[in-house]
Structure 1
Amino acid sequence: MDKVQFKKLVSQKIQILDGATGTELQKRGMPTGVCPEQWVIENPNAIKEIQKAYIDAGSNIIYTCTFGGNRVKLEEFGLGERTFEINQRLAQLSKETAAGKCLVAGDLASTGRFIKPLGDMSFEACVDIYKEQVQGLLAGGVDLFVIETMLDIQEARAALLAVKESCDLPVCVSMSFDESMRTLTGTDPVTALITLQSLGADAVGCNCSTGPEHMVEIITRMKPYARVPLMAKPNAGLPKLVNNVTVFDMGPEEFGSFAENFIQAGVNIIGGCCGTSPEYIKELYRNCGDLKPRHFEYSEYSAITSSAKTVFFGINKPVAIVGERINPTGKKKLQAELKEGSTNEIRRFALEQMEKGADILDVNVGMPGIDEKEVMLNTVRLLGSVCDAPLCLDSSSPEVLEAALRIYPGRALINSISQEKVKLDKLLPVAAKYGAMFILLPLNDEGVPEKAIQRQVIVQEVFNQASDYGYKKSDIVVDGLVMTVSSNQEAALETLKLIQWCREEFGCGTIVGLSNVSFGLPERGWVNAAFLSMAIAKGLTMAIANPSSDLLMCIKMACDVIMTNDVNSRNYISYFSSMDKPVKDGNEKKEAEKKTCDKIFDAVLNGDNEGIDKLIEKAIAEKTPPQDIVDIYLIPAINQVGKLFDEKKYFLPQLIQSAETMKSGFTFLEPLLKQKGEKEEKEDIVVVIATVKGDIHDIGKNIVGLMLRNYGFKVHDLGKDVSAERIIDEAKKLKAHIVGLSALMTTTMVEMEEVIKLAKEKNVGCKFMIGGAVVDDDYAKTIGADGYSKDAYEAVKLAKKLSIKQAAECN
């Protein structure tokens, strides 16, 4: 099936997916703890029975049994070298069962590992892992691909690129969102949608984690921005333990009744995830009946994303400020740091510009004496973990831009593509491949046209070529190409003419590098400010500027109000109600006036693992007691990070960066601490963690272990698929204060109770905490656990509480 056929199919008729596979396999005798893929190959009739039942129930698309079929997962069972063979055979089994009655989707899912900087896996290694699996599925004859249950947008991007670079078959991507409508790494539904559809996904949606009611809301949020079909595969409600068996609280009839809600919300493809069976799919099919997919009228929009945020901009929206300061031109300190491989200034500029109101950060690291490509890649990784602002990638090198686009975990803006033949030929296909927006620079190999009308011709010609790659006018931003008025007083007027033409006739957004207009003149701020207000009046939508300039930002806010682009003056009121009093000598002076220990606090808050040691060393030289650094700055800082995480202002990347920074600080201070402090007390607390028997999911457990270690606990990770006997034996041998149990499957969560029962039988008096997507606080109470944590930071807080409670009981 090709992409055109797929689009036609899903736009004309609701496509029904299959339901759960793992639980159905267990009903047919698959033991817990085995490799499902291998077991199915050894017992092919089981998967054939299941898939035939789904086809008979009404499934138009069935998934291959390859959820754990990537090399990383198969290596856990010693099967890594058989990755191609296993995927090929499983695809063949599904094709034999389908027998032309339905389509077969090659199923890709998470590796269970994080990509740098969150984890230790490189982006290219992840792409290659998925490519190997894709090749096997292609050899088995799949009709399309589905990438499902993805918790990290970067891993989803890697899998999507692996499919796109291997074949031209349709590919659907399904993310998993929690009750706060964020993925594990902090991506919201709209950001995920825009990122993935821009990168070339043929359908986008969500599966697992929630029941139908919550998932309808996710689809509703996505639909206004969807340019591709949407898919949904919800769980059968929430899991509960009944007579020591895990069941879901929603029956087939109630589950199927949500079909119309999903279709009204905008779904084209629907199925079932955990807890569903052929009976559930039959009810979906029955309720869909003759209902057709809804066709929505869409408005064009311009948007770029980071992994955690979308910024919309364009005509009739507030002017977007692109922070200009991450650029070594004229910045000696930044130049020196780039040569040394340091990132302190980049981090500072990024956070400072965001604080001052930058919507987007321009990133330019081009200078002599460095490997620009490597520095750009390191900068993109850094900024992705310390801030949520989308990036404008700025380089004169097509190779550097392509490398940065490949690892950028969102939809970027390229600065820029002109009509210069080398750039146009090299950059346009690259921009299209990665779904980037781009700034259209109206110059050609002959130079910069002096008149606006000449620039208009170039804009039209470049756009015509871009449209061949699928670009629309909402996907580009025209640079007004402002030149200095000190050498040509009419230069600014020509730029204003171009801006006006783009808004009123051509119909696209515009941007200017604001400071160019005043180059060579005294008191440049006044010229910049005057030009900004005039450009906004003509229709300017973006400006590359220094957001630390109060004059520029105040004028921008006022112009947005006057041009009616700031609805009810909300942004204006918010900006001035929270605006700091101006500092005469700027932010550099303000930063310099901070005490060293305040900078230590900020370093933890901002995850500055690189700079924390130098700051502590300086504080010690200033006679600050080491214990005060711990008690007054490090611990309050990490507590503030936890508060921001609870408030959903910080997400997993920032949480991990800050925790590692605090750990570095403790490690540096440890030899200097003369009396027993909090760190030493925490190091006495032994925690044993494990994923219970039969469950091979460990990503959540691994994150909890990392966080506990960074907070000073002694953590012993027993791994996954661990028996109750081993967990209790190790807890007893290690004299554990706390045992942490994880389960991600409804069929294995019952093993948690077995562990706790065995502990009581053997008189092991440690505290038990549990976690995982399928459990909750009520379940913890039911099985006799001492607490439940919903995420890694909650686990840290619970561990502190339980350790205090146990110490009191022992005394």
Structure 2
Amino acid sequence: ELANAADCYFSGHFNAGLPNAFGEYDETPEIMQQELADFAGRGFLNALGGCCGTTPEHITALAQAANTGAPRALPEPRHAQRLSGLEPFSISEESLFVNVGERCNVTGSAKFKRLVLEGDYNTALEVAREQVENGAQVIDINMDEGMLDAHHAMQTFLNLIASEPEISRVPIMIDSSKWDVIETGLKCVQGKGIVNSISLKEGEAPFLQQAKLCKRYGAAVVVMAFDESGQADTAQRKTEICARSYKLLTETAGFAPQDIIFDPNIFAVATGIEEHNNYAVDFIEATRWIKQNLPHAKVSGGVSNVSFSFRGNNPVREAIHSVFLYHAIDAGMDMGIVNAGQLAIYDELPAE
């Protein structure tokens, strides 16, 4: 996986096995040569050497093993978004829609909020496990609750996730409206996760500072369609803010475009206010524009927001989500924050 993705040279420096009870190394030059021959023969190396326990005879054997294959050629650059938990996860233009599990969010799940407030993190961990088992390829973690020490809760929960390979195999999306909580999460997450989110709400200087820190931590980033004048609620405003953000990120912050995920704001429809009737269409049209004009950037959004007016009526909400996603994915939406276990299939929705 790394060999197909990394545009740098690979070097290997091998021990003569593990030290024995006396601190000595038992692998002979012949054993090391045999073990390395397959690795080198598959073209994974550009340079090699010996480390603990090796002698000039070992180095000679390693050099002979290296001759079984050609040096590794650098791969052609591919603009895939490469994330990882314990396992790598790549999102390319050919990838199917990515489900980001939404239930580990104290602002969106009453059950998860209660468990975290009670300090029952082990049971809360089962919420994350269920999301992964139900098909979430990324899990969103949010601890923004006024009665909660968000720093402690984020750190505790992420450390527990790290101890569960079945959960930590997927990438983590660190979700908070507070930058210091996001940074607490970034210090806990191994692999390459996603920050959710940054925006131009407070101007360009804080936006760029946070973007550069995300880059330093090696995270992809969700960028909200939000600027100094507020949240964008029309297709034109959404595209203007996303275009401005893209230019700043790629030209000033040095951010890789494939690590930018735009969230053009999914708002609730059917609120009874006429101006809100076109909110879903505005998101879809903004998505289409982003995919056509901001190369390699991804598009995401909180899908359950679109049906918020129908809370309490789950069958209707699930149908709305399915119809919305059908059209949004067709326009280029790459991923969405969803309840991974409750997505209805569009073609199976009853006509009524």
* Superposed pair shares fold, TM > 0.5: yes
Cα shift at 1:345: 4.4
Tell me the equivalent position of 2:286.
Answer: 498
Query: Matches of residues 74-473 of structure 1 in structure 2 within 5 Å?
Result: 221-235=1-15, 247-251=26-30, 254=33, 258=37, 262=40, 265-282=43-60, 294-306=73-85, 308-329=86-107, 331-386=109-164, 387-388=167-168, 389-421=170-202, 423-467=206-250, 468-473=252-257
Q: Which has the higher relative contact order, 1 or 2, with Cα contacts under 8 A spaced 6 or more apart?
A: 2
Q: Is the 8 A contact 1:416 1:441 kept in 2?
A: yes
Q: Is the 8 A contact 1:263 1:293 kept in 2?
A: no
C-alpha distance in 2, partners of 1:533/1:426? 36
Query: Matches of residues 457-536 of structure 1 in structure 2 within 5 Å?
Result: 457-467=240-250, 468-486=252-270, 487=273, 488-507=276-295, 508-521=297-310, 523-536=316-329
C-alpha distance after superposition, 1:82-134 (max 9, x if no partner): xxxxxxxxxxxxxxxxxxxxxxxxxxxxxxxxxxxxxxxxxxxxxxxxxxxxx
C-alpha distance after superposition, 1:407-450 (max 9, x if no partner): 21221111111122365144212211100001111210211223
2:50 is paired with a residue whose SS is: coil
**Aligned partner letter, 1:515:** S
Cα shift at 1:496: 0.8
* Structure with the higher fraction of residues in helix conformation: 1
1:503 is paired with a residue whose SS is: helix
Q: Is the 8 A contact 1:224 1:298 kept in 2?
A: no
**Aligned partner letter, 2:8:** V
Q: Is the 8 A contact 2:101 2:140 kept in 1?
A: yes
Query: CA RMSD of the aligned region, Å?
Result: 3.2
1:438 is paired with a residue whose SS is: strand
Tell me the equivalent position of 2:331.
Answer: 538
Cα shift at 1:504: 2.8
C-alpha distance in 1, partners of 2:35/2:92? 41
C-alpha distance after superposition, 1:311-343 (max 9, x if no partner): 222422011111111112264444343333221
**Aligned partner letter, 1:351:** R
C-alpha distance in 1, partners of 2:249/2:282? 25
C-alpha distance in 1, partners of 2:19/2:116? 52
C-alpha distance in 2, partners of 1:405/1:531? 32
1:520 is paired with a residue whose SS is: helix
Distance change (3 Å), C-alpha of 1:407 and 1:330: closer
Cα shift at 1:348: 2.3
C-alpha distance in 2, partners of 1:285/1:444? 58
C-alpha distance after superposition, 1:384-405 (max 9, x if no partner): 2232232110000000111110
Cα shift at 1:480: 2.9
Comparing 271-280 and 354-363, the one that deviates more: 271-280
Cα shift at 1:555: 4.3
Aligned length: 328
**Aligned partner letter, 1:393:** I
Q: Is the 8 A contact 2:33 2:62 kept in 1?
A: no
Q: Percent identity?
A: 25
C-alpha distance after superposition, 1:624-680 (max 9, x if no partner): xxxxxxxxxxxxxxxxxxxxxxxxxxxxxxxxxxxxxxxxxxxxxxxxxxxxxxxxx
C-alpha distance in 2, partners of 1:257/1:370? 52
**Aligned partner letter, 2:14:** P
C-alpha distance in 2, partners of 1:465/1:409? 27
**Aligned partner letter, 1:494:** D
C-alpha distance after superposition, 1:471-494 (max 9, x if no partner): 212111111311122241111111
Q: Is the 8 A contact 2:141 2:174 kept in 1?
A: yes
Cα shift at 1:304: 1.8
Distance change (3 Å), C-alpha of 1:281 and 1:455: same
Cα shift at 1:500: 1.4
Tell me the equivalent position of 1:768.
Answer: none
Cα shift at 1:252: 9.6
Consecutive unaligned residues of structure 2, counting only runs of 5 or more, are: none
C-alpha distance in 1, partners of 2:53/2:340? 51
C-alpha distance after superposition, 1:514-545 (max 9, x if no partner): 11112214622221110011111111110111
Q: Is the 8 A contact 2:40 2:66 kept in 1?
A: no
1:477 is paired with a residue whose SS is: strand
C-alpha distance in 2, partners of 1:224/1:309? 15
Q: Is the 8 A contact 1:256 1:284 kept in 2?
A: no
Distance change (3 Å), C-alpha of 1:247 and 1:509: same
Q: Is the 8 A contact 2:45 2:72 kept in 1?
A: yes
**Aligned partner letter, 1:498:** A
Distance change (3 Å), C-alpha of 1:483 and 1:456: same
Q: Which has the larger radius of gyration?
A: 1
Tell me the equivalent position of 1:86.
Answer: none
C-alpha distance in 2, partners of 1:459/1:363? 24
Q: Is the 8 A contact 1:392 1:413 kept in 2?
A: yes
**Aligned partner letter, 2:153:** V
Tell me the equivalent position of 2:342.
Answer: 549
Cα shift at 1:349: 1.2
